[in-house]
Structure formats: structure tokens, C-alpha cells
């Protein structure tokens, strides 16, 4: 039973920071690529940040320099540190775990709301 649970979302003012967590269970997360996606109302889901099993990271241009993805394999948890938040960062943020070569091993969390507003 694979489960991904996001937490840490909430309401924050522009310029503020939030730290999202993605706790995984039912998988050995260290052998999965992890990613954070977001979806704003009326928009498609987009990749925000990803980290591979080897620690390589990738970021959307819109968040480079502001967001940092990390993972703690001992805790089976991935994180997204979000700094200097902007109103356009407002979205539901989803955690994803994807096996490097097994296409059916692709899992999603339920999402956590991030709202950036004054």
C-alpha cells in the first residue's frame, strides 16, 4: 500500500517562506525519483522541482533561486523549501514518486494548498 502525504501548505504573505513535506510509505523511496508539481485553478499541472535517486535536481524557471527540493531517505520524506513566495506561486502542490524504469510505479499524494496573498 503506497501512500504519499503532503503537508506544510497554508497561507503566507508575499515574500514569505513555506516548507512542504512529502512523507512516503509502502515504497523504498530512495530508489524513486521524487518531484513536486503544482496546479493552479484553470491551469495544467506543472513540474516545479524534481530530484533523482542520485540527487540531481531540476527546477522550473519560475522558481529557480527561490525553491529547493531535497530528500531524506532515512525518513522516507521529500521536501520543498519555498522562499520569496509570490502570489503566482498559489496552487495545490502535489508530491510524486516515480520509478526510473518501471512505468506502473508512479505515485501521487493528495496535494496541499499553498496560498500567497497579502
At 103 the pLDDT is 87
Tens digits of per-residue pLDDT, 38-72? Answer: 999 999 999 999 999 999 999 999 999 999 999 99
Q: Cell 520569496 identifies what position?
A: 84
Please, are residues 23 and 109 in contact by the beta-carbon 8 Å criterion?
no
Q: Output the tens digit of pLDDT for each of the chain's 118 residues.
A: 999 999 999 999 999 999 999 999 999 889 999 999 999 999 999 999 999 999 999 999 999 999 999 999 999 999 999 999 999 999 999 999 999 999 899 999 999 999 999 9
The answer for residues whose C-beta is within 8 angstroms of residue 71's C-beta and 6 or more apart is 29, 34, 51, 55, 77, 78, 79
With 0-12 / 13-18 / 19 or more C-beta atoms within 10 angstroms meaning exposed / middle / buried, residue 32 is buried
Grid coordinates belonging to 12: 503566507
Quote the DSSP letter at residue 32: S
CA distance 87 to 117: 6
- CA 84 to chain CA centroid, Å, is 16
At 29 the pLDDT is 86
Nearest alpha carbon to residue 10 among 86, 66, 67, 90: 90
Please, are residues 21 and 8 in contact by the beta-carbon 8 Å criterion?
yes
At 61 the pLDDT is 98
Amino acid at each position: 500500500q503506497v501512500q504519499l502525504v503532503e503537508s506544510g501548505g497554508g497561507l503566507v504573505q508575499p515574500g514569505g517562506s513555506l516548507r512542504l513535506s512529502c512523507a512516503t510509505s509502502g515504497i523504498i523511496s530512495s530508489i524513486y525519483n521524487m518531484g513536486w508539481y503544482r496546479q493552479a485553478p484553470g491551469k495544467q499541472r506543472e513540474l516545479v522541482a524534481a530530484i533523482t535517486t542520485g540527487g540531481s535536481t531540476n527546477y522550473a524557471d519560475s522558481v529557480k533561486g527561490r525553491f529547493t527540493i531535497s530528500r531524506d531517505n532515512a525518513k522516507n520524506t521529500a521536501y520543498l523549501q519555498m522562499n520569496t513566495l509570490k502570489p503566482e506561486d498559489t496552487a495545490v502542490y502535489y508530491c510524486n514518486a516515480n520509478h526510473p524504469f518501471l512505468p506502473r510505479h508512479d505515485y501521487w499524494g493528495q496535494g496541499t494548498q499553498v496560498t500567497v496573498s497579502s
